[in-house]
Structure 1
Amino acid sequence: MADNSDVFFAEEFASIFDKYIPTTDDGLIGRNRLWGGLYSPRFQMGIGRTVQLGYFSGLFTQRLHHLFFGLRVSVGSIGDDGEVISSLPSQYGELPEIDAISGAAFFLGDACMAQYYFNKLRFHNSAKQQLSSLKISRKLAKATSWLAENAEVLMEYDSESPNRSLFSARSFLVCGELFDDEHMQDIGYVFFEHAMRLFADGFFVEEGGWDTSYQAVSIVLIREIMNVVPLGAEVDEILFSASQWLAGRVDDMGRIDSSGNTRTCTGEEIFLGVEKKVSVEEVFLALALAVETQHDFYYQKAQLISDWVRVNPNSDPCFFSQ
């Protein structure tokens, strides 16, 4: 675990990840906190990502208890049979079954990642924490088995979306590593290899073309997975090419080019009543997590994004160079 004084972009990371750390007695974050209940564990996602970053950087070490509490609350969505139960507030209508299954994959990969790094941090140092940890692990193991029963329908749903395939891969690979379950990992590698087949000419093909935002999502997911399980030299090459492509979409002012995107900034894809736009945070993370020195290409691009956001905090993230 690193000394956080050596962490590039520590201030930016703290700002981005703060929203994943519960601050209220209900342990809710994201939309669940906004809505006042544990509607979907998908919207608890981010706890695992935060614990992983904390493990490698030394950030957030004073807030691990809050993160663990959030994880404990999140697994309350898992039923006795392992089903991950999700819903939406009534104004959004009924949640389609496939969206609930996909959302479960999003959540489980993050939750298992949290538990994996809590174990590595030796966080569970009291009898009470050890008991809570055991209960969490049992629930996550049941949920992973339930998700495996839905792997075929999940693969069909993910077929044209490499980022969703990677979310599914993360759930089986990380949970499989957590529970030393080779069968789950085998399923995870199938999803991962499918996502890699959807990579061409420097970008992950989302519904027939490129998308700057989902390119970043895929890059970050690959980095999270490869920190837990081996992925091979070919993946290193794909990750390098994908990161170079993404960096090339950041102009000299720090704006992220959305020209030609197939999903975000098109005005056609809506999520919970809101148009999908480029996630500036994901693009920043994809580049910042690749930084090795303060003088490298990725550092410069990530710094440009950070500077742009600081000067233009409320600007539309959708920028079109042509």
Structure 2
Amino acid sequence: MNNTLLTLLLFFSIACSDKQDIVLHTNSISDILTYNQLLQQIGKERLYRSVEEPNVDGSLGRNKDGYFHVRFQINMTTISDYVIVSEDIQALETLYATIAYAFQHQESDGGFELVVPEEILNASYYTPPGPGDLLSGTAFFASSLGLTLMSLDNSQWYNQSAQTRGVREAITFMRPQFENMLNYLMSGSEILIQMDAQAPNRLLFDALAYYSLGEYLTRNDAIALAHEFMHAALAQTDTVEGYFIEGGGWDSSYNGVAIKLAMELYLLTEDTETKVLLKSGFLDATVWQLSRISANGEISTEGNTRVYEGGESFLGAEKGVDYVKVAKALLYFGYLTCEPAIVELGDAVIDYYN
């Protein structure tokens, strides 16, 4: 455990914004910042560094080579986060293109087409996905969409500017498609909670999908389900070290993803009890994560259960550390705790892997 960073976290007090003073006490994390306010603290320059540029048609990730599945649109939040802070109309229109692209491939049951590239279909490693895999992939995308929609909904510029009217109306028109997707995920919730039972990061993706879309669409049934997934994930932390347990042990990539998602849920909810629960989960897990990162930004994979040299693969390629999400988690935590050293470490992670 990095004792210096732990001491800083527990005892450092500072006013970290010209706009508002956040005084930290021992073991405290800000409970007054909203998601959009935290993005403002991070700033558009930092957010822009992580933006994934889509193709002209709005495709992201592996969809850029031809539509594969909606899960690969997950990085739309890198664009929406930038939009919230920059208030850039061109970036907003690009964001809309990524949403529209996804829903061009929605099926009547609310799920999405799967179009497996021929080279993967013919590969020895390929196994056709089951219903649970498709639900899980859709939940990844839905968590990103829900976060995007909630952040837009809480933006004064988005809601009131004449510039944004066209995109606002287009997104509002898509509301029945969002409802259909949420219904698809709700109908598959028992499959999801069984399939993701031993993967807290995926349970938190599911929770964020249900919660954010539930809030946006005023669906209390989805919000209640989000809490079920949230509790299942938070029950899976190591009682000594605090990390989220993946594959029976620790993993510095998946733990980083889990704390990012837990902090996003923390920032979105206004319920005090839920905030306390989430904070107790991500605090120790983040302190453990800090112990796995060198000052130059390198994330150690030594002892990982899933992501390491010779570890898990996805679609024929060995998994690498999800440094973008780890860096984002550090930025969240640095501003929530008013700790500049952790913000700088988040910058160092991006610098190291770029």
TM-score (norm 1): 0.85
- Cα pair 1:49 1:110 within 8 Å, conserved: no
- CA displacement, residues 23-62 of structure 1 (integer Å, 9 cap, x when unaligned): 41x11111101x22x321111112135324543x447565
Equivalent in the alignment of 2:71: 42
**Aligned with residue 98 of structure 1, among 132, 137, 146:** 132
What is the correspondence of 1:241-280 to structure 2 with a 5 Å cutoff? 241-280=284-323
- SS of 2:174's partner is helix
Q: Give the SS at the match of 2:104.
A: helix
Q: Which amino acid is the alignment partner of residue 177 of structure 1?
A: E
Residues 194/95 of structure 1: CA separation in 2 closer, same or farther (3 Å cut): same
Query: Which residue of 1 is the match for residue 146 of structure 2?
Result: 112
Match of 1:28 among 47, 59, 75: 59
**Number of residue pairs aligned between Structure 1 and Structure 2:** 303
Residues 2 and 58 in structure 1, CA contact (< 8 A), matched pair in contact too? no
1:234/1:3 Cα in 2 relative to 1: closer, same or farther (>3 Å)? closer
Alignment of 1:1-322 (within 5 A): 7-8=41-42, 10-17=44-51, 19=52, 21-24=53-56, 26-33=57-64, 35-36=65-66, 38-52=67-81, 54-55=83-84, 57-58=85-86, 62-93=90-121, 94-121=128-155, 123=158, 128-200=166-238, 201-229=241-269, 230=271, 231-292=274-335, 296-309=340-353, 313=354
User: Once the two structures are superposed, what CA deviation does each residue of 1:92-115 show, in whole Å capped at 9, x if it has no partner?
Assistant: 224433211110111112112222
> Per the alignment, in what secondary structure is the counterpart of residue 139 of structure 1?
helix
RMSD: 2.5
Query: Residue 244 and residue 123 in structure 1: after superposition, are their counterparts in 2 closer, same or farther (change >3 A)?
Result: same
- Tell whether the 8 Å contact from 1:3 to 1:58 is kept in structure 2 after alignment: no
Query: Take 1:295 and 1:166, find their aligned partners in 2: how far apart are those partners?
Result: 25
- Percent of residue pairs bearing the same amino acid type: 24
Helix, strand or coil at the partner of 1:291:
helix
Preserved contact between residue 9 and residue 288 of structure 1 (Cα < 8 Å): no
Greater RCO, 1 or 2 (C-alpha within 8 Å, sep 6+): 2
The amino acid of 2:149's aligned partner reads Q
SS of residue paired to 1:204: coil
Secondary structure in 1 aligned to 2:334?
A: coil
- Distance of 1:9 and 1:127 partners within structure 2: 24
Q: How has the CA–CA distance of structure 1 residues 80 and 123 changed in structure 2, closer, same or farther, with 3 Å as cutoff?
A: farther
CA distance in 2, matches of 1:262, 1:96: 24
Deviation, 1:264, is: 0.3
* Counterpart amino acid of residue 111 in structure 1: L
**Counterparts of 1:303 and 1:27, CA distance in 2:** 27
| Counterpart-to-counterpart distance in 2, 1:40 and 1:264 | 23
Q: What do the CA deviations read for 1:217-255 (whole angstroms, capped 9, x no partner)? A: 111111222222243213213222111111111123332
Normalising by structure 2, we get a TM-score of: 0.78
- Return the offset for 1:168: 0.7
> Which residue identity is paired with 2:234?
M
Moved more, 155-164 or 68-77: 68-77
SS at match of 1:290: helix
**Deviating 4+ runs (over 4 angstroms):** 1-4, 6-10, 59-62, 124-128
Distance 2:76 2:301 in 1: 28
